[in-house]
A and B are shown apart, each in its own frame.
Chain A
Amino acid sequence: MSLSQWGLLTIGAPLVTFVLFLLGVGRRPTLTVALSLTTAALACAGTWAMAITLPEAGYQATTPWAATADFSIHLGIRLTGLSTAMGLVVGTIHLLVQLYSLGYMATDPAQARYFAVLSLFASAMLSVVYAADLIQTFIAWELVGLSSYLLIGFWNFKPSAAQAAKKAFIMTRFGDLGLFLGLALLMLNMPVEAGGARNLLIALILEAVANNDLAGNLFGYDQHTVIGLLLLCGIVGKSAQFPLHSWLPDAMEGPTPVSALLHSATMVAAGVYLFALLQPLFLASSITSTVALGIASFTAVMAAGVAMVNPDMKRVLAWSSISQLSFMLMGLAAGSEVAGFFHLVTHAGFKCLLFLSAGIFIHLAHSGDLTEIGRKVGSRSRAASLGLLVGAASLAGVPAMAGFMSKEVILAQLHQPGYEGFYWLALLGSAMTAYYATRMAAVILRSDSAAVSHHRDTEQTKQEVDHDSNHQGGLADSIMAMTVVGLALVTLGLGWLGPQLAGHLGLDAELVAIDWDSMGVGLAVTALLAGGGLAWYDYGRTGAYREGFLSGLPAIEAMLKDGWHMDRCWRWVSDKIIAGLTLSALFIDRRAIDRSIDGVADGARSGGVLAASLQSGRLQWYLSLTLAVLAVALILLEWK
């Protein structure tokens, strides 16, 4: 098979599952699941085939899709070291998660819908990865968001899940708005190709950046800066960076395998991937790259802080994902071609492992609360404990583990003149990471040694547990356990694949080599020991108080537990600004605003009630309003 056929198979096969589901196959769950697994395996095979047979010079196959006189859009695949490596990660983890879901979702009545949407996600995500044209990327990017919406809200009988799904979709859409505008501006400023049309082929964009064809002014700033910042909005939204991050912890309302696949390993990494793809464009403007670095380093510390105190296992992992994504962005924004991406690969492995272990823990403990899991399950589940240990060690950055190897490359990149501030922030973030990783492992695995402390059962996990409690069966459990053990073994080796990855990207293996004698490694290990040691003192050692040191600072602890009050800020924005806008636009109606309950979406709704009530009047009222608006228009006209 040729590369383009492989590409078509990889992207198309999972899509077939989804389309067949829509056309009614969904009424037969077993068939849908079988179909879904088959196409997942095919897609995975395709990603491997493309990665292995990739020619030295890369490969591109496109077909013109929509064209008008002044621009054209292409559909196709663009295979480079970067895209095939990313595709490999997506395809493999997707297959693993589908296998794991066989056990996890075995008794769910809506199984067919779950697998079908998972397939839609895979197809869209692979399309993001392999796209040759940024418009194709954008379209697939939106479809990825849509499938994420459908999967977060999968247990739609939970109001919180439906709310979280909407919040995620709308928040990322705001980021995507920037992306859309950025793409449109980029399109308008691309050099004209032969035939008089412009297009957004990635290869041509990179060429244009290299030739400095995009130089010029836009709104008084350098074009690279404006376009780069707009594109960055989309990345910030998708990769859950400050200030558009608060949807990701809420997204944990979805089933755990979904959290593993979408909300840690692949979908949220799409933002980082896009940054890696267009890195020269972002680096061409020092303002853009500095803004990206600033956002990322701030987010890294901020999110790690929340992960230090959150009581819920999945939410700790979610905040940790936000923080780790920031590390990747830092590496890329600091100019390294491989550092951030290497971390993306290792993170995909160990974070997915942690989530899959969490799935088993939560399933056994019937709760997502860390203390509760420790009390009820502890180290009794061998597979899950192994997964947790390997994953947490990797996350914390224990030398020679996957996470350490890739994070060290990022830190080395930052350890340069000009980046001092960011470097120290990254080190602080590392120490905090070590703290929450150790805390998570210690609370769960060392619980037998300590007194049982009070526990908080979060509403969310209670309901997930309801789902799980009717779930029994040896086969399902062993499928899940085997997946976890397999992934743990892979993760152990992942850290040593840096040179191979660099080679695949066409870069020098030196770039990922670690200088073990350097001060950088010493500092990193110090951060690990400081964070991990503190957590061990708080939670791990025999006779520990099992209270974080932060409980001595209640104000800070409360703020962290509330996620830095970010949701409250957003609610304020939606309440005051959106409702206020409506109010001032529709001053005619003086009825009090129906205060919104939660989130951006509801704020907008309360504004809507007001706009609708304008309708209740009589005809004369309508006519005078029309006349009044016309009069205002006339005044404006004559006044000019």
Chain B
Amino acid sequence: MPELSPETLLNAALGLLIVMTLAGAVLAVTLRKVFHNLLGFGLSVIGGAGVTLILGSEFVALMQLLIFLGGIAIAMVFAVMMSTPNEQAEEPRSAGAVIPAILLGLGFTALICWAMLDGNFPQSSPYVAEAWSVKNIGLLLLTDYELPFEAISILLLAAIIGSVLIARRTREPEPSEEADRG
């Protein structure tokens, strides 16, 4: 049995993680129960974090696990458990709708992949491993990426007010709807 070089092992792990990411995504889309979809989403997120880790960016991998899995996925699980009745009768999907959709999706992906093969990406990105250190990311966020960093807070503010606003509409109805039309 030939000795496995670390490189081969790393590549194998990368392949496994990619398969995991894709499988999670497929589960998230195909399964009929919302809860199962969320599990698939979690799997996909873990896979993605692994890929980032292998590419040498520990901080981003950690953040992805923390935010997507620990934050978003869990919040969605709570939302699902609190809102919809879990065992809702699902209508079966019709093959007439599913098959063209699958073909279209695969075809589109294939086209993009084909184009990618043709593209010549620069051999090494200027961001080598140490560039992704926490310190560097912190510096970048306060220099080159200061504007998006600040602007995202406006975006988040808008999203928060918006969700409060829409939630309020469903809870407390308008006071005396007809009278104030003047």
Contact of A624 among B100, B111, B112 (CB under 8 A): B100
Interchain CB contact under 8 A, B107 and A638: no
Q: Mark A598-631, 1 if CB is under 8 A from B, else 0.
A: 0000000000000000000000100010011011
In the complex, the chain A residue whose C-beta lies closest to that of B112 is A634
In angstroms, Cα B101 to Cα A630, docked, is 14
Interchain CB contact under 8 A, A631 and B115: no
Residues of A within 8 A of B114 (CB): 638
Interchain CB contact under 8 A, B104 and A620: no
In the complex, the chain B residue whose C-beta lies closest to that of A628 is B104
In angstroms, Cα B104 to Cα A282, docked, is 55
Residues of B within 8 A of A631 (CB): 104, 107-108, 111
Is B144 part of the binding interface, using a Cβ–Cβ cutoff of 8 Å? no
In angstroms, Cα B105 to Cα A624, docked, is 8
CB distance from A538 to the nearest CB of B (A): 69
- B78-120 at interface with A (beta carbon < 8 Å): 97, 100-101, 104-105, 107-108, 111-112, 114-115, 118
Residues of B within 8 A of A635 (CB): 111
CB distance from B135 to the nearest CB of A (A): 40
Interchain CB contact under 8 A, B108 and A627: yes
In the complex, the chain A residue whose C-beta lies closest to that of B111 is A634
CB distance from A269 to the nearest CB of B (A): 57
Interchain CB contact under 8 A, A638 and B118: yes
CB distance from A589 to the nearest CB of B (A): 15
Per DSSP, chain B at the interface is helix
Residues of A within 8 A of B118 (CB): 638
In angstroms, Cα B30 to Cα A368, docked, is 73
Interchain CB contact under 8 A, A638 and B104: no
Interchain CB contact under 8 A, A620 and B101: yes
- A540-585 at interface with B (beta carbon < 8 Å): none
CB distance from B119 to the nearest CB of A (A): 11
Interchain CB contact under 8 A, A624 and B115: no
Per DSSP, chain A at the interface is helix
In angstroms, Cα B157 to Cα A267, docked, is 62
CB distance from B17 to the nearest CB of A (A): 27
Residues of B within 8 A of A637 (CB): 115
In angstroms, Cα B118 to Cα A627, docked, is 21
CB distance from B121 to the nearest CB of A (A): 17
| Chain A count of residues within 8 A CB distance of the other chain | 10
Interchain CB contact under 8 A, A624 and B107: no
CB distance from B16 to the nearest CB of A (A): 30
In angstroms, Cα B114 to Cα A488, docked, is 81
Interchain CB contact under 8 A, A627 and B104: yes
Residues of A within 8 A of B111 (CB): 631, 634-635, 638
- B35-56 at interface with A (beta carbon < 8 Å): none
Residues of A within 8 A of B115 (CB): 634, 637-638
In angstroms, Cα B106 to Cα A627, docked, is 11
Residues of A within 8 A of B112 (CB): 634
Residues of B within 8 A of A624 (CB): 100-101, 104
In the complex, the chain B residue whose C-beta lies closest to that of A635 is B111
In angstroms, Cα B112 to Cα A628, docked, is 13
In the complex, the chain A residue whose C-beta lies closest to that of B108 is A631
Residues of A within 8 A of B101 (CB): 620, 624
CB distance from A639 to the nearest CB of B (A): 10
CB distance from A637 to the nearest CB of B (A): 8
Residues of B within 8 A of A634 (CB): 108, 111-112, 115
In angstroms, Cα B111 to Cα A637, docked, is 10
CB distance from B6 to the nearest CB of A (A): 37
CB distance from B20 to the nearest CB of A (A): 26
In angstroms, Cα B101 to Cα A627, docked, is 10
In angstroms, Cα B107 to Cα A634, docked, is 11
Residues of B within 8 A of A620 (CB): 97, 101
Residues of B within 8 A of A630 (CB): 108
CB distance from B95 to the nearest CB of A (A): 15
In the complex, the chain B residue whose C-beta lies closest to that of A618 is B97
Q: Which of A628, A630, A631, A637 has the most CB of B within 10 A?
A: A631
Q: Mark B56-85, 1 if CB is under 8 A from A, else 0.
A: 000000000000000000000000000000
In angstroms, Cα B104 to Cα A628, docked, is 7
In angstroms, Cα B82 to Cα A625, docked, is 35
Residues of A within 8 A of B104 (CB): 624, 627-628, 631
In angstroms, Cα B107 to Cα A631, docked, is 8
Instruction: Please name the 9 residue pairs, one residue from A and one from B, whose CB atoms are nearest each other, closest first.
Output: A634-B111, A631-B108, A624-B104, A627-B108, A627-B104, A631-B107, A631-B111, A628-B104, A624-B101
Please name 19 further chain A to chain B contacts, defined as beta carbons within 8 Å, in addition to the given A634-B112, A638-B115, sorted by A numbering.
A620-B97, A620-B101, A624-B100, A624-B101, A624-B104, A627-B104, A627-B105, A627-B108, A628-B104, A630-B108, A631-B107, A631-B108, A634-B108, A634-B111, A634-B115, A635-B111, A638-B111, A638-B114, A638-B118
A-B pairs with beta carbons under 8 Å apart, 24 shown = A620-B97, A620-B101, A624-B100, A624-B101, A624-B104, A627-B104, A627-B105, A627-B108, A628-B104, A630-B108, A631-B104, A631-B107, A631-B108, A631-B111, A634-B108, A634-B111, A634-B112, A634-B115, A635-B111, A637-B115, A638-B111, A638-B114, A638-B115, A638-B118
